[in-house]
């Protein structure tokens, strides 16, 4: 019974998903399904935070853990679910997507994220990530009448299947080298020494997880998947999938491979440099907003890795906070795209927006400032924390690369701001934002502003594994 209580947040989401699946034929509009998903998200977050049996508890013979780290990411995942649900209401009605199936997939994908963040066994970690990824394949292609969506889903599936095989093969090699699948036993075996088999396994595991966070050179799926998917699904992937991958990567590296950080630090340094550089440079030439935000997410994966590379409790906390802040500011940016509709697909659709819809331009400008890392936004506080952690760990050159890439990113983010505030509007004025979208934007903006004004507000909450 204790095990089931510890797993209650996941069970709440699964129960809501099954309810939607069983009643799918009777759910024609998005609003009822959205209410079920929102209630489940709030219930899972509330239960996980307010009803802990103890500060640290394990379930099912030690393969699932409930600690501060897991609770932190559970809040990130459920908040992501709630905001994406709000952002999806008008889209589902307009595109005639079956709302029950759509929200059931969101709920099950979030369940996989939560399992990955709570797992202390590589097999459970793999199962959680694959549950998330399988649901994501369907979500990307759920608008079946859209050829671009179908193409994106096929590309995502093919590349994702290969990445899953790489991850599983890496897990097999780690098991072969250590004789264990739980993190504690792997850590004990790693402390006894390295072997070529273990090094190969670690490299493959990190490569598989690098795909989940869209870190270069495992990023090729992201631009096409984001562009082909509907904006709410792209937002869900950008915020949730990246947070889940980071949650799994941080716990595995520090708890499983922690005794020998030299095995994984060099790989992560390469991933961080490539992600920041490739993401920032390729975003400069984009004219499609979803592709621009996709390359932006690749760069942000590199920034988030800086804290983990430091290998310190402060660095792990900085990466956690970065994942939290990034989720809200990228959901906010996608929320503005969703509210504006088709005109926001291209950069030119933002011309003169400040004159035709000052509220929408104000929201977008705030999120662009945060994504760039300009004070006093939460994005600046998060980026400063991960760069500071890297400097204190001796990775000064890596920090310099991060700062230079931030300068490059300022160009393509502020280009949107220039179009909004320094160009005359063209075409019809934008349509009014739905109440659900405005509510999601208000929450994202609140977190973005509060995180910048009170940069230390999350420090006591974001405890590493």
As a whole number of Å, the end-to-end CA separation of the chain is 25
pLDDT of residue 143: 86
Selection from 382, 389, 379 nearest residue 410 by Cα: 379
Alpha-carbon torsion (173, 175, 181, 184), positive or negative: negative
425-439 pLDDT, tens digit each: 876 777 788 899 999
pLDDT of residue 221: 92
Q: Is the pLDDT of residue 371 over 80?
A: yes
CA 181 to each of CA 62, 102, 256: distance values in angstroms, whole numbers, following the listed order: 11, 34, 9
CA 399 to each of CA 279, 379, 385: distance values in angstroms, whole numbers, following the listed order: 16, 16, 11
pLDDT grade, residue 163 (50/70/90)? very high
Q: What is the mean pLDDT of the chain?
A: 91
- The DSSP annotation for 173-231 comes to HHHHHHS--BHHHHHHHHTT---HHHHHHHHHHHHHHHHHTT-TTS-THHHHHHHHS-H
Q: Is the pLDDT of residue 52 over 90?
A: no
Token pair belonging to 18: 């099954």
Rounded distance between C-alpha atoms, residue 371 and residue 306, angstroms: 16
Selection from 165, 254, 258, 245 nearest residue 204 by Cα: 165
pLDDT grade, residue 54 (50/70/90)? low
Q: What is the CA radius of gyration of the chain?
A: 21
Q: Is the pLDDT of residue 458 over 60?
A: yes
pLDDT of residue 432: 84
Q: Is the pLDDT of residue 193 over 70?
A: yes
Mean pLDDT within 25-35: 86
Contact status, residue 248 vs residue 209, Cβ threshold 8 Å:
yes
Selection from 296, 333, 304 nearest residue 83 by Cα: 333
Contact status, residue 64 vs residue 120, Cβ threshold 8 Å:
yes
Token pair belonging to 254: 């520090």
Contact status, residue 99 vs residue 30, Cβ threshold 8 Å:
yes
Count CA atoms closer than 13 A to 415's CA, side-chain side.
17
Q: Phi first, then psi: what are they for 182, rounded to 5°?
A: -85, 150
Rounded distance between C-alpha atoms, residue 422 and residue 415, angstroms: 10
Whether this prediction's pTM lies above 0.85 is answered by: yes
Better-predicted residue by pLDDT, 102 or 193: 102
Mean pLDDT within 253-270: 91
Selection from 84, 433, 416 nearest residue 234 by Cα: 84
394-421 pLDDT, tens digit each: 999 999 999 999 999 999 999 999 999 9
pLDDT of residue 426: 76
Token pair belonging to 423: 């160009």
Contact status, residue 84 vs residue 236, Cβ threshold 8 Å:
yes
Alpha-carbon torsion (88, 89, 93, 96), positive or negative: positive
Rounded distance between C-alpha atoms, residue 199 and residue 376, angstroms: 42
pLDDT grade, residue 424 (50/70/90)? confident
Say which range, 23-32, 135-144, 185-194, has the weakest mean pLDDT.
23-32
Contact status, residue 325 vs residue 382, Cβ threshold 8 Å:
yes
- What is the three-class DSSP state of 463? coil
Q: Is the pLDDT of residue 91 over 90?
A: no
pLDDT of residue 254: 93
């Amino acid at each position: 019974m204790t095990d089931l209580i510890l797993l209650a947040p996941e069970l709440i989401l699964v129960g809501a998903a099954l309810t939607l699946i069983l009643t799918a034929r009777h759910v024609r509009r998005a609003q009822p399904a959205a209410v079920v998903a929102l209630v489940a998200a709030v219930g899972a977050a509330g239960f996980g935070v307010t009803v802990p049996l103890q500060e640290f508890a394990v379930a099912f013979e030690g393969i699932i853990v409930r600690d501060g780290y897991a609770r932190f990411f559970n809040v990130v995942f459920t908040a992501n679910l709630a905001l994406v649900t709000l952002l999806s209401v008008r889209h589902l009605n307009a595109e005639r997507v079956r709302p029950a199936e759509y929200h059931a997939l969101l709920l099950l994908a979030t369940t996989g994220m939560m399992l990955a963040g709570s797992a202390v066994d590589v097999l459970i970690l793999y199962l959680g990530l694959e549950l998330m990824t399988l649901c994501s394949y369907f979500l990307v292609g759920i608008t079946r009448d859209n050829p671009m969506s179908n193409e994106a889903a096929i590309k995502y599936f093919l590349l994702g299947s290969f990445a899953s095989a790489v991850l599983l093969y890496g897990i097999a090699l780690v098991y072969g080298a250590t004789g264990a699948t739980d993190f504690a036993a792997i850590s004990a075996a790693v402390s006894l020494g390295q072997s070529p088999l273990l090094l190969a396994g670690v490299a493959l595991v990190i490569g598989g997880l690098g795909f989940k966070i869209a870190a270069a050179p495992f990023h090729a799926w992201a631009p096409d998947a984001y562009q082909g998917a509907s904006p709410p699904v792209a937002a869900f992937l950008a915020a949730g999938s990246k947070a889940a991958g980071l949650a799994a990567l941080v716990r595995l590296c520090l708890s499983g491979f922690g005794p020998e950080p030299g095995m994984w630090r060099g790989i992560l340094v390469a991933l961080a440099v490539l992600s920041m550089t490739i993401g920032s440079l390729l975003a400069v030439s984009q004219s499609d907003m979803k592709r621009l935000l996709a390359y932006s997410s690749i760069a942000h994966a590199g920034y988030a890795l800086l804290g983990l590379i430091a290998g310190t409790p402060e660095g792990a906390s900085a990466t956690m906070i970065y994942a939290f802040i990034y989720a809200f500011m990228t959901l906010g940016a996608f929320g503005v795209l969703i509210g504006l509709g088709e005109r926001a697909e291209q950069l030119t659709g933002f011309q003169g927006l400040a004159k035709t819809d000052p509220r929408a331009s104000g929201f977008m400008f705030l999120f662009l400032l945060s994504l760039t890392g300009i004070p006093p936004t939460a994005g600046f506080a998060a980026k400063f924390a991960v760069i500071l952690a890297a400097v204190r760990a001796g990775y000064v050159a890596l920090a310099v690369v991060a700062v230079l890439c931030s300068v490059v990113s300022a160009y393509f983010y502020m280009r949107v701001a220039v179009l909004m505030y320094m160009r005359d509007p063209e075409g019809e004025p934008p349509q009014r934002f739905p109440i659900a979208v405005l509510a999601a934007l208000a929450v994202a903006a609140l977190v973005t502003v509060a995180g910048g004004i009170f940069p230390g507000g999350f420090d006591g909450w974001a405890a590493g594994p």
